């Protein structure tokens, strides 16, 4: 499980773009978005660095939170 805080994620459209970027980087991952906390949790065989790059490339750089 990897958790990111994404300061620039503020609406449903942002959540959809973030989810698409993460699933593009890790197709089998389960992605859960918490807009109120501006956090996204990725569960599955996910490489945190690859996910972080996908978020950056999509325009939503995230801060990885400790496990």
Is 51 part of any domain?
A: yes
Domains identified in the chain, total number: 1
Rounded (10°) CA dihedral 16, 22, 24, 27: -110
CATH number of the domain within which 30 lies = 3.30.70.100
pLDDT of 45-59, one tens digit each? 779 999 999 999 999
15 pLDDT higher than 80? yes
Instruction: Please tell me the distance from the alpha carbon of residue 18 to that of residue 63, in angstroms, as a whole number.
Output: 13
List the domain range (segments joined by +) for residue 31: 2-59
Q: Which pTM does this prediction carry?
A: 0.92
So what's the pLDDT on residue 45? 75
Angle between helices 12-25 and 48-57 (to 10 degrees): 130
Q: What is the DSSP letter of 61?
A: -
| H helix runs in the chain, sequence order | 12-25, 48-57
Q: Which pLDDT does position 46 carry in this prediction?
A: 74
Identify the pLDDT of residue 36: 96
> Does 20 score more than 80 pLDDT?
yes
């Amino acid at each position: 499980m990897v958790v990111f805080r994404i300061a620039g994620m503020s609406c449903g459209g942002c959540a959809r773009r973030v989810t698409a970027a993460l699933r593009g980087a890790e197709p089998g991952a389960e992605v859960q978005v918490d807009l109120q906390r501006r956090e996204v949790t990725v569960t599955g065989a996910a490489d945190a660095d690859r996910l972080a790059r996908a978020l950056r490339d999509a325009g939503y750089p995230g801060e990885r939170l400790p496990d």
